[in-house]
Structure 1
Amino acid sequence: MSKTFSDLGLKQPINDALIDLGYENPTLIQEKAIPQILSSDEDLKAFAQTGTGKTAAFSLPIVELANENDKNTQAIILSPTRELAVQIGKNIEDFSKYIPNLKVTTVYGGANIEQQIRQLKKGVQIVVGTPGRTVDLIRRKALKLSNTKWLVLDEADEMLNMGFKDELDQVLEATPDTKQTLLFSATFPREVEAIAKNYMHNPVEITSGQKNQGSDNVTHEFYQVTEKTRYAALKRIADVNPNIYAIVFCRTRRETQEIADKLIQDGYNADSLHGDLSQAQRDAVMDKFRKKNIQMLVATDVAARGLDVNNLTHVINHKLPDQIENYNHRSGRTGRAGNKGVSIALVNRKEKGKLHPIERTLKKKFIKTAIPTGKEICEIQLFHLIDKIHKSEVNTSEIDSFLPSIYEKLNDFSREELIQKFVSLEFNSFLSYYENAPDLNNISSRDREGGSSGRSSRENMTRFFINLGRKDKLNPPKLMGLINEQGINKNVEIGAIDILDTFSFFEIDREFESFTLEAFESNSPEFNGRRVNIEITKERKDRKRSRRRGGHSSNKGGFGRVRNQNNSSSDRRRNNNRGRKPRR
C-alpha cells in the first residue's frame, strides 16, 4: 500500500493544503527526505532527477518545523535562477496557506532591491533567493542569517555550472555552524562533491534512482542531420507529432531567437526564452507556454531552469550541450509526474561521438531514428485531422438556422465527394509542402558538416586565449566563474571552451569583446597564485595539417571534448603548441 503525506508526519494544516493542491502520494525522494529532515538535524545530500518533486521534499519539512512566532530568518534556500526561485517561493506559499504567520519572500536580481529589503524588515521566516542577490542583501546587512536553522542548496550542480561558487561560499560563511545543510542536486559532479566535503559534516546521503542516471520515463532518440538539414529535421519532427508540446534547447541566445523566428514564420505556435528578454517578457512567454498557447518553446539552458511543466511530450536538443549534466537537466524536463516523454538529439557526424559519454552516464542507449519522410508526415497529419473531426462536438443550437442553406448548396455532391473536398481544403498545404520533399536520411558524403551555419555562429563570437590550463587546476565551471568575477554580466553568451595543459581558450559574445579585455586588464585577477592574462586569438587556415594533429581537451564529468562542432581544425592544431601563445 502506497504512503500518503500524512504518513510522513506532517501536521494537519500542511496536509489540508496538499489536499487542496491535489497532492495524494509522495514521490520516492519525498518519501525518503521528509522523514529524514523531520527526525534528524544531520546534514543531507540528496540526489533526485529533475521533475521528481525535490521542492516539496525539502520545503515541506521546513514548513513543518519552522517557528511561525519567531520572525527571524530560519531558512535560506538558494536557487540558480530567478524563475526557479519564484517557483519555489510560490510552492512554499501554497504549502503554508493554512499557517498564516509563516512568511516567505523571494529575492533575486532584476527586481527592486529596496522593496525586497522592506519585506525582509517585516520579518520573514523563509527566504528563497538567487546567489547574487542573496550576497548583495547580506552585504547591505538587510538579510541576517545568524539564526538560520536550515540552508538548502537546490540544483547545486547548476549553480556551479553558472559560476556561482564564490557566492555560495559567501552565503555558507554567513550562516552559523549549527545549521542543517540540505544539498539537492540532479547530478553530482566533482565540484558538488567538493561543496559537500568542505561545508557539510558527515552528511546522510539519499537517492531517488542512481546518481546522474536518466529517468525511466524518458526515452532517448537521435536523428542524424547535416547543418543544412538540421532545421528541416526539426520541422519534420514537429509535423509528425501533431500534439507536440516541447522545449527546443539551443546553445546560445542568438541561435534561440533565430530558430524561434523561423518556426513562427513557418506557422508554428512557438516563442523564445533567453537572457535578452526583460523579466516581464519572460513571464509573459512562460505564462503562454504553461497555458499551452505555445506548443514549442525555444530556450537556452539557463532560461528554462525555472519552468515547472508536467506534461511536456518532447525535449529536443537542437544542439547538444557541452556538459553531460546539462543534457540530464534538459531531458529531465519531460517524463515528469508519471508521464512518458521523449528526449531527442539532432546530431551531425562530428557530434555523434558526444552521445557515447551521455549513454554511459545515463545508463541508457540512444535509439537511432529516421527523419520522417513527407509521405509519413502527410499520413499522420491526415488521420490526426480525421480524429479531430470525429471527436468534435456539434453545437446544433448555433448552426441550425444555417443548415438548410448549407444543405442546398452541397446537394449536388455525393458523400465521398464532400469528404474529399473537406479533407483537401484542410490538408492541401501539407500535401503541397511535402509533395516533392527529399529524403533527409540520405546524407551524401559530399554534404559539408558544420558548413555555413557553423561559420555564421563563429562570426558572432570572439575567441580568447587565457594563460591557465589543466596544470593550474582549471576546468570549465572554474573558468566561467573567473569570467563572472570580473563583473561581466552572467547572462553574456559564452561559447566553446577548450581546456589544455598549460593554457586554454574560450569564446564570448563579440559585443562584449572590449569589455572583457578591459575587465581583465583593470582587475588584474589571479588564479591559484598566477596572474591571469587573456588575449584575442586569430584563426589559422592550415586545415589539413591541423587535422592530423588533433588534441584533446579535458572536462571530467562532461564530454570528452568541450569544444562544439563549430570549432575549426586550426584550434586543434594549437593543442600541440604547448605553452606557446597564439599569433596576434
Structure 2
Amino acid sequence: MKSFESLGLSKGLVESVLQIGFETPTPIQEKAIPVLLNGNRDFVGLAQTGTGKTAAFGLPLLDLVDDARRDTQALVLAPTRELGLQIANDLENFSEKFKAFNIVAVYGGSSISEQIRKVKKGAQIIVATPGRLIDLIDRKAINLSTIQYVVLDEADEMLNMGFKEDLDKILSFTPDTKNTWLFSATMPREVKSIMKNYMSDPFELTVGEQNTGNVNIEHNYVMVQERDKYPALKRILDDNPDIFGLIFCRTRIDTQRIAEMLMKDSYNADALHGDLTQQQRDRVMMKFRSRTLQILVATDVAARGIDVEDITHVIHMNIPDEMEFYTHRSGRTARAGKKGISIAMITRRELGKVKQIEKTLKSPFKRMMVPTGANVCQKQLLALMHKVREVKVNEEEIAEFLPAVYEELKDLTKPELIKRFASIEFNRFLDYYRNAPDLNQDDRGRSSSDGEGERYITGSRFFINLGKMDGMEKGDMLALIDETSGVTKQHIGRIELKGAYSFFEVEKEKVNDIVNGFQGIEYKGRQVRVEVTERKDGGGREGGSRDYKRGKPSTGGYAKKSNNKYADQKRKRY
C-alpha cells in the first residue's frame, strides 16, 4: 500500500492531509494523483461515489496552482450547492499547512454581489455550480480566460440535471490550452460526448468495473403491498434504533408527505426537496450533518452531492426509473471504505426492476423480510438496555438527588426495578405492535394484511371513474382517498378495481367527507367523478364530483387538495 508522500505530493500538502486523518490513499487517489501532478494531459476518472474523488483531483490541483498569482487558474464545477461547498471546504482543509489560497465557492441561493466581491479580490480557485457561474459570466463579473485546469466533478449528475447547455457555454469561455479533468460514477452517452468535444486524448482511469456498485454496500429489498410501504418503513426504522439514514422518494410531494408522517409519529426526521428555500435547505443539512437529525427524506435531485459521513442506511420508497439514480442514491452510504445498507421497498410487480439493477451492478440483492412486531419490540428493548449500560453518570451533580430516588424505590427488588424501568419504553412499542400483521408480500402478491384494507363495512358504496387502465392499484386508491378526503383505510371497506372505473365502500359517517373532498380534482388531465351508488352495477348514482390534479403521474404518491399548502404544485419524476 502506497503512502501519500510516495505519490509525489509536496511535503506541506502531505502534512495537511495526514493532519486531517488520511493515512493511506484510496485506489482512485493512488492511481490518479501521479498522473494529474504532471499537469499536461486531460483526464477521465470513473469511480463510484464515496471512493475519495475529491482528494484525487483536489490534492494535485493545489500542488499545481500558483498561490503567488491572483488570477483564476482552476475551475471546479459541481452539480449542487451542497457538493460545491463541500469541495471548497475540503480544498481549504487540504491546503491549510501548505499555501494561502483564495478559494471561492460560487452557487445559487446566496448573495451574488458578495460572491462577485470575493472573486474580484483574486480567486485562484473557483468552485461553482453551473447556473450561478453562468450568471457571473453574463454579468461579466468573472474572467475564465486565465483558466489552466477545469474539473468536472460528478459529470453524470450534472448532465442528468440538465446542465448540458450551461457546460457548453462555460467551457466556451475557457482557453483551448487548459487541461480538463472529468470525474464520474457512470459513463452514459452524454459524458462520452463531452469527452469527444472538449478533451484531447485523455488519460482514462477506471477504478472497479464500469456500472458495478460499491462492494461495501449490502443491497436488500422488501416486497410489500403499495399501501403497506409506510407501515413497513416504520418497522424498518424501529428495528434499527441507531439508524442514521436517507429515505428517497420520487417526488417533492411524496418527500414532504413521508417526512411529515414520520415527524407526526415522533421520528426525528425532516425533508429536503426543491420547494424549500435555500435557508431552509441549509438548516436541514446542518442538522443532518451534525446528527441532530436522524432521518432525512429527500428527492433524487435535492440529495445530489450530499456527502455526509457514516450514513448507515439508504431506503428507497420506490425503485427509480434510471439506473444512475439508484447508483447515486445507494452511494450515499458506505463511503470512504465503510459498510452500508441499501433497502428498496418494492411491490411484487417491481421485482423485475430489482433483477435488472442486480444484473447491471453485478451485486446480488437479498430479500429482507419486514420485521415482525415481536422482533421490533425485542430490538428496542435491547437498545434501551444498551443505552442504560453505556450512559455516562455525572456522579457529582446527581449525588444530592439520589437519596430521594433511593427512598422512592426502596420497596422494589432488583428484578422488579429492571422490569419496571424497561417497561417505560417497552410498553409503548408493545401497545403499537400487539397483533401486528405480517406485511411481507408473498409470490402471488398477497400479504397477511390484505384483510386489513378490505374489511367489509356496513356503509355507503361509491363509484369512481378511475381503474386499472389508469395504473391504479388498491394501495394507490387508498392513498388517493386518504389525501383528498382525509378518510383513512380504517374507515374504508372493499375496493373493487375495474378497467375504467372502480367501487369502494366507506362508513356512512364519512360519506360527506368523500363527496366534499373529491370536488375539483383531475387525474392525468381528466375530471374525476366520485358518486354514491347503491346498485352493484354502478347504476342509480348520485353525488358530487371533484377534480384531482397532478402533474406527471407516478405510482404511489398524490397531490394534496387545493386548500393544502402543497396545492397547485406540479409533480415531477426524477
The alpha carbon displacement at 1:64 in A equals 0.2
Q: Is the 1:454–1:565 contact (alpha carbons within 8 Å) kept by the matching residues of 2?
A: no
The residue type paired with residue 41 of structure 2 is: E
The alpha carbon displacement at 1:254 in A equals 1.1
Aligned residue for 2:44, secondary structure, equals strand
Deviation per residue, 1:215-261 (Å, 9 max, x gap): 01001000112221000011000000111000001111111111111
Deviating more after overlay: 342-351 vs 407-416 = 407-416
The residue type paired with residue 74 of structure 1 is: Q
Residue equivalent to 1:79 = 78
CA RMSD of aligned residues (A): 2.3
Q: Distance in 2 between matches of 1:399 and 1:567?
A: 50
Q: Distance in 1 between matches of 2:98 and 2:322?
A: 42
Residue equivalent to 1:383 = 382
The alpha carbon displacement at 1:539 in A equals 8.8
The residue type paired with residue 446 of structure 2 is: S
Q: Distance in 2 between matches of 1:263 and 1:305?
A: 22
Residue equivalent to 1:135 = 134
**Residue 409 (1) aligns with residue 408 (2):** yes
Residue equivalent to 2:446 = 444
Residue equivalent to 1:492 = none
Q: Distance in 2 between matches of 1:10 and 1:342?
A: 35
**Residue 264 (1) aligns with residue 263 (2):** yes
Q: Distance in 2 between matches of 1:567 and 1:401?
A: 55
Q: CA 1:51–1:211 in structure 2 vs 1: closer, same or farther (change >3 Å)?
A: same
Aligned residue for 1:243, secondary structure, equals coil
Residue equivalent to 1:493 = none
Q: Is the 2:47–2:183 contact (alpha carbons within 8 Å) kept by the matching residues of 1?
A: yes
Q: Distance in 1 between matches of 2:439 and 2:379?
A: 18
Q: Distance in 2 between matches of 1:567 and 1:267?
A: 22
Which consecutive aligned stretches of 4+ in structure 1 deviate over 6 angstroms post-superposition? Answer: 456-459
Q: Distance in 1 between matches of 2:481 and 2:196?
A: 44
The residue type paired with residue 451 of structure 1 is: D
Residue equivalent to 1:371 = 370
Residue equivalent to 2:104 = 105
Give 5+ residue unaligned stretches, structure 2.
454-472, 485-523, 530-551, 559-574
The alpha carbon displacement at 1:129 in A equals 0.6
**Residue 29 (1) aligns with residue 13 (2):** no
Q: Distance in 2 between matches of 1:564 and 1:28?
A: 39
Residue equivalent to 2:174 = 175
Aligned residue for 1:249, secondary structure, equals strand
Q: Distance in 1 between matches of 2:242 and 2:429?
A: 16
Q: Distance in 2 between matches of 1:269 and 1:566?
A: 23
Deviation per residue, 1:292-342 (Å, 9 max, x gap): 111111111122223221201100001222211011001011011221100
Q: Is the 1:270–1:296 contact (alpha carbons within 8 Å) kept by the matching residues of 2?
A: yes
The alpha carbon displacement at 1:100 in A equals 4.7
Q: Distance in 2 between matches of 1:318 and 1:567?
A: 10
Residue equivalent to 1:8 = 7
Aligned residue for 1:304, secondary structure, equals coil
Residue equivalent to 2:50 = 51
The alpha carbon displacement at 1:19 in A equals 2.3
Q: Percent identity?
A: 51
Q: CA 1:399–1:7 in structure 2 vs 1: closer, same or farther (change >3 Å)?
A: same
Q: CA 1:61–1:301 in structure 2 vs 1: closer, same or farther (change >3 Å)?
A: same
The residue type paired with residue 140 of structure 1 is: R
Residue equivalent to 1:340 = 339
Q: Distance in 1 between matches of 2:393 and 2:147?
A: 60
Q: Distance in 1 between matches of 2:7 and 2:48?
A: 21
Aligned residue for 1:84, secondary structure, equals helix
Q: Distance in 2 between matches of 1:451 and 1:376?
A: 29
Deviation per residue, 1:40-91 (Å, 9 max, x gap): 5111110111111111111111100011122111111111111111111111
Q: Is the 1:458–1:566 contact (alpha carbons within 8 Å) kept by the matching residues of 2?
A: no
The residue type paired with residue 476 of structure 2 is: G
Aligned residue for 1:255, secondary structure, equals helix
Aligned residue for 1:57, secondary structure, equals helix
Q: Distance in 1 between matches of 2:478 and 2:250?
A: 14
Q: CA 1:456–1:299 in structure 2 vs 1: closer, same or farther (change >3 Å)?
A: farther
Residue equivalent to 1:236 = 235
Aligned residue for 2:303, secondary structure, equals helix
Deviation per residue, 1:110-147 (Å, 9 max, x gap): 22222222212111111111111112212222221112
Q: CA 1:451–1:194 in structure 2 vs 1: closer, same or farther (change >3 Å)?
A: same
Q: CA 1:202–1:175 in structure 2 vs 1: closer, same or farther (change >3 Å)?
A: same
The residue type paired with residue 10 of structure 2 is: K
Q: Distance in 2 between matches of 1:456 and 1:202?
A: 58
Q: Distance in 1 between matches of 2:557 and 2:240?
A: 33
The alpha carbon displacement at 1:450 in A equals 4.6
Residue equivalent to 2:429 = 430
Q: Is the 1:75–1:151 contact (alpha carbons within 8 Å) kept by the matching residues of 2?
A: yes
Q: CA 1:205–1:455 in structure 2 vs 1: closer, same or farther (change >3 Å)?
A: farther
Q: Distance in 1 between matches of 2:224 and 2:98?
A: 55
**Residue 349 (1) aligns with residue 348 (2):** yes
Q: Is the 1:350–1:449 contact (alpha carbons within 8 Å) kept by the matching residues of 2?
A: no
**Residue 294 (1) aligns with residue 293 (2):** yes
The alpha carbon displacement at 1:408 in A equals 3.0
The alpha carbon displacement at 1:538 in A equals 4.6
Q: Is the 1:450–1:565 contact (alpha carbons within 8 Å) kept by the matching residues of 2?
A: no
Give 5+ residue unaligned stretches, structure 1.
460-535, 542-561, 569-584
Q: TM-score, normalised by structure 2?
A: 0.78
Q: Distance in 2 between matches of 1:567 and 1:19?
A: 48
Q: Is the 2:39–2:179 contact (alpha carbons within 8 Å) kept by the matching residues of 1?
A: no
Larger Rg: 2
The alpha carbon displacement at 1:356 in A equals 2.0
Q: CA 1:458–1:232 in structure 2 vs 1: closer, same or farther (change >3 Å)?
A: closer
The alpha carbon displacement at 1:537 in A equals 5.4
Residue equivalent to 2:38 = 39
Deviation per residue, 1:449-498 (Å, 9 max, x gap): 55226758999xxxxxxxxxxxxxxxxxxxxxxxxxxxxxxxxxxxxxxx
Q: CA 1:405–1:125 in structure 2 vs 1: closer, same or farther (change >3 Å)?
A: closer
Q: CA 1:457–1:437 in structure 2 vs 1: closer, same or farther (change >3 Å)?
A: closer
Aligned residue for 1:306, secondary structure, equals coil
Aligned length: 471
Q: CA 1:120–1:402 in structure 2 vs 1: closer, same or farther (change >3 Å)?
A: closer
Q: Distance in 2 between matches of 1:156 and 1:386?
A: 47
